Each structure stands twice: as structure tokens, then as C-alpha cells.
A and B are shown apart, each in its own frame.
Chain A
Amino acid sequence: MSGGEASRAEVAVVAVAELFRGDGDTLVSPMGLIPSLGAKLARLTFAPDLLLSDGEALLVTADGEVEGWQPFRKMLELIVPHGRRHVLMGANQIDRYGNQNISAIGDHAKPAKQLLGVRGAPGNTVNHRTSYWVPRHSRRVFVESVDVVSGVGYDNAAKVGYSARRFHDVYRVVTNLGVFDFATPDNRMRLLSAHPGVTVEQIRDATSFDVDTEGAGTSREPTADELRLIREVLDPEALREKEVPS
């Protein structure tokens, strides 16, 4: 990653930043390292009006400086009913319609693996825009059907109807291999762009379901200015390279 060449992690940071292009004055809650690097990069460049949460209870600037408080009470009183929010969550499993599982692997009552729990997913997905970040794209994550629907996908929102669809907006999925969206007639996941150096075959092999790859492009390379911000300002210790090895 010396010189101008961008690493895979750096491409992923930019792909995450692109999630927020055009969001305006939206509260962004990025969960995890690359999600927060991407959100900060967007704010430092093309999306200066973003409000950033630290993933817990503070609002921060791109430099990590605290600029406000956002405890549970504020979220419930202000942001959820009156504000615009875009959450970027992780997913232990995700399916073709964007159903996400972060609750349990196996039977919920007697799981093979107890995960961390549904957290905000049931509310996030039916109240405002939600995207997902998957650092290791594999068949174990991209499954035919998730074990416990925690974040609501398009098919389940449609089954429920108005209450779940009213604000439902599962926007994109960014992984170490590419960027995906659901802008197809039946809201099935499709490949929007493969990261430079990743083939469509590689993505198909790492995905349990059939993913539409027609017309997919290549994720854009970071600009020189973005690389400088990532390397010198946002993540000088290069922790991103541990989350997504090149």
C-alpha cells in the first residue's frame, strides 16, 4: 500500500463513505472501525452536514472531538420520530432480500452459537435507512436464509405491509469484495460494483444464493486526497488493514 496504490481496506473505506453521499443533515451511526472511518471521510469531503455518532452515546466530529450527547433518551425523543438517520450495522448472516441476523445461529431457544443480540435492528430497519458492513464476505454470512430475522429485509417487510414498509429502506451492503444494493424489481440483492482486483466469480463463490451481477461496475479508487486523509488523519496506525487484509 505504499505510494499511490490503494489497499482493499482503503477501497472499502471509500465505498462506505459513498453510502452517505447526498444524505445531507442525517445522523449517521456507524458500528465498527471501517464504517466509522468511511463516515468520517464522507464528512471531511463530500458530505459535510453529516452528524456522526460514536456508536455509543456521543456525537463526534471527524477528528473524534465530542460535539454533542445522544443518550438513549435523545434517540427516542428526537432522532427516531423527527430526524433523519442512516445506520450502518454488521451482520452475522444476511440473505438475498437483506434480512440480517445478529441474534443467534441455529435454534433461537437452544442456539449453536449465541450472538450479541438484535440490539437496534428491529427498530432501525423499519424506521430509517439501514446499510450493512461485512468485513469477510463468505457463504457463512451470505446465506440462503437467515436463522433469526433481526433486521427486516424486503420480503418480510412486504409480508407485514404498511407498518413495516412505511419507512423501510435497506440501502446497501458493503463488503471486503464489493458493494451491493436491492434496486431490482423484486428487491433481490444485486452486485453494484466489485472492488478493484475482485472478480465476479469470486463474489459468486463466496455467496450462497444467486446474486445478480449483470451490469456491475468496479468500485472507485480513492482519490489522492482521500488516501491522504485516511492514512494521515483518520487512521495513521493503519488499523483498517487488520479488519480487511489486502
Chain B
Amino acid sequence: MRNANEVGNVAEIVSLAEGVGRLVHDGDMVALEGFTHLIPHAAGQEIIRQRRRDLTLVRMTPDIVYDQLIGAGCARKLIFSWGGNPGVGSLHRFRDAVQNGHPVPLEIEEHSHAGMANRYVAGASGLPFAVLRGYSGTDLPRHTDTIKQITCPFTGEQLAAVPALNPDVSIIHAQRADRAGNVQIWGLVGVQKEAVLAARRSLVTVEEVVDELEPVPGQLVLPSWAVTCVAEVPHGAHPSYAQGYYERDNAYYEKWDSIGRKRDSFEDWLREKVFTMEGAK
């Protein structure tokens, strides 16, 4: 079931449009991961451009990348633990969708950070669920039906069980891949490895495809066989940053507040910055 790599045994190097077109389908459960650093923004916008619908979006910390997808009407459900514009405030498209059902209603499945991370770990490990102490005493089990009580068979302690996350497709951004599709990530890493290993299919966008991956201290390597497709997308994490390539564009995050705040300014942005790019890649 996991790592089925429907396309083949090793990663194939494709264009971004082809990768999204081939791997992301209407109705899929899609995870875009990367915390603060290496957020796959270009891939998110390509999903909008290809007009995918009814997606279940998964992400520990939905920020601008999901505000854009939600505002464009790509999602019917969000699985998350924090949704905001980091350092700035709220995500207005996300709030409009939850509070007013605009442009389409958005169902939410809310978890804690630890719950999300452990759900990915369970998914990547081929286990059906994860166990946590957190959630005891909160209202979340009443609102989120993927939190159940479980009794420890050894101590009798009451704990929370959360089911594995196995996205249909996980998408991450990394610094480099080689021509065989081995992926190299360094700097701050969140749950990207778990998200890719838990997924049925995966797309990794990279700053560059190189002949050989020179080792970097603290690196994480995802072997080619764990990845379905790799696409070279320079600046694919902008406005977040890619260590060794570019800095975070803090002004963009601030500007997003005014773009995302109103439906019409968001529609203008979609038209000018996403749809007019159609066929460009």
C-alpha cells in the first residue's frame, strides 16, 4: 500500500506541470510539508493552475501555501494543527472558507502538532495508529473523530490513539536531487521524510538537479526508490527560504495579509500571478 510508487521503481525527473498532472488527482488526500523552510509554494500554485478540486489537504502548519489553495477552491477538507500567516496573523481565505463556506465549504480535522507528527510516523512505519498522552482532557476528541481513547495493555493507562496518515500524494521541496532522483535536504527539516515515506505517491521539487550529491553536514537523503517524481523548480519554495540558495521573503508574508484579506484582491492575485502563468512551464 505505501510506497507503491505507481509510476515505477525509481524517481522519474519530470516538469512541475507534468508531475502535478500525473500525481495529483481530484479528490486526493495531498500533503505539502516543510516547516518555515523549504515550503513547496510553486507546487501548490501548480495545483491551483491545474484546477484540482475536492482535495483533502494535510499539513502540520498550513500557512500561505494552503491559504492560496483553499481560496482557489481546491480543497474540501483540511487536516492540520495550526493555520496562520507566520509572524503576521490570520489566514483570511482559510477563515472565509471555514466561517462562510467561501468559495466552497471547508471541513476541518484538527489535531495537535504531536498528533500530526505521530500520524505521519505511523504512516511511514506501516503501522495503523500512533499513541499519545496529549488530547486527554481537551475538547478535541468530541470534535475530531480521528482521536479515540485506548487503554495501554501493560499499565492500564488511558491514552489517545490517532490513525496513520497515508496521503495519496506528498509534495515537498528540497535543495537538490541527482539524475537518478535521489533527493538531498539540509537545514531545518520538519516531517518531510515521514510525509514522503507515508505517501502512496510523492513529488519532490528541487532547486537544482545535479550530477552528484556532494555530502552536506546534517543532510537528509531520500533515496530514489522512495520518490515517485522529481521536478526542477528553482525558487520553488519562495516566499519561504531554501538554505544555501535564498532567504525568506518576509515582505511577501506581510503583503499576503492585504492580498488574502478580500475576496476580490485574492481573485486579482489568482488571475495575475497564477492563471496567466498557464502553459509557462
| A152 at interface by CB-CB < 8 Å | yes
| A231 at interface by CB-CB < 8 Å | no
CB of B215 to closest CB in A, whole Å: 18
Interface 0/1 of B25-54, CB less than 8 Å to A? 000000000011000000000000000000
Q: Could you tell me if B82 and A149 are in contact, using CB atoms closer than 8 angstroms?
A: no
Q: Could you tell me if B112 and A121 are in contact, using CB atoms closer than 8 angstroms?
A: yes
**How far apart sit A162 and B158, CA to CA, in the bound complex (Å)?**
8
**How far apart sit A127 and B94, CA to CA, in the bound complex (Å)?**
30
**How far apart sit A5 and B190, CA to CA, in the bound complex (Å)?**
45
Tell me the nearest residue of chain B to A121, going by C-beta: B112
Interface 0/1 of A167-179, CB less than 8 Å to B? 1100000000000
Residues of B within 8 A of A150 (CB): 138-140
A residues 105-158 in Cβ contact with B at 8 Å: 108-114, 116-127, 148-153, 156-157
| B114 at interface by CB-CB < 8 Å | yes
**How far apart sit A73 and B108, CA to CA, in the bound complex (Å)?**
25
Residues of A within 8 A of B138 (CB): 118, 121-122, 149-152, 156
Tell me the nearest residue of chain A to B95, going by C-beta: A114
User: CB within 8 A of A114: which of B60, B81, B98?
Assistant: B98
CB of A21 to closest CB in B, whole Å: 27
Residues of B within 8 A of A125 (CB): 137
**How far apart sit A168 and B133, CA to CA, in the bound complex (Å)?**
11
**How far apart sit A127 and B90, CA to CA, in the bound complex (Å)?**
28
Residues of B within 8 A of A149 (CB): 137-140
Number of A interface residues at 8 Å Cβ cutoff, please give it. 46
Residues of B within 8 A of A166 (CB): 133
User: CB within 8 A of B114: which of A80, A109, A151?
Assistant: A80
Q: Could you tell me if B188 and A123 are in contact, using CB atoms closer than 8 angstroms?
A: no
| B135 at interface by CB-CB < 8 Å | yes
Q: Could you tell me if A148 and B143 are in contact, using CB atoms closer than 8 angstroms?
A: yes
Q: Could you tell me if A123 and B133 are in contact, using CB atoms closer than 8 angstroms?
A: yes
Q: Could you tell me if A159 and B84 are in contact, using CB atoms closer than 8 angstroms?
A: no
User: CB within 8 A of A72: which of B35, B90, B94, B158?
Assistant: B35
Interface 0/1 of B132-159, CB less than 8 Å to A? 1111111110110000000000000111
Q: Could you tell me if A148 and B139 are in contact, using CB atoms closer than 8 angstroms?
A: yes
B residues 96-129 in Cβ contact with A at 8 Å: 98-99, 108, 110-115, 117-118
| B191 at interface by CB-CB < 8 Å | yes
Tell me the nearest residue of chain B to A108, going by C-beta: B143
**How far apart sit A167 and B132, CA to CA, in the bound complex (Å)?**
13
User: CB within 8 A of B134: which of A72, A112, A127?
Assistant: A127
Q: Could you tell me if A57 and B35 are in contact, using CB atoms closer than 8 angstroms?
A: yes
- A residues contacting B by CB (< 8 A) are 56-58, 69, 71-73, 76, 80, 103, 108-114, 116-127, 148-153, 156-157, 159-164, 166-168
- B residues contacting A by CB (< 8 A) are 35-36, 60, 80-84, 90, 94-95, 98-99, 108, 110-115, 117-118, 132-140, 142-143, 157-159, 188-191
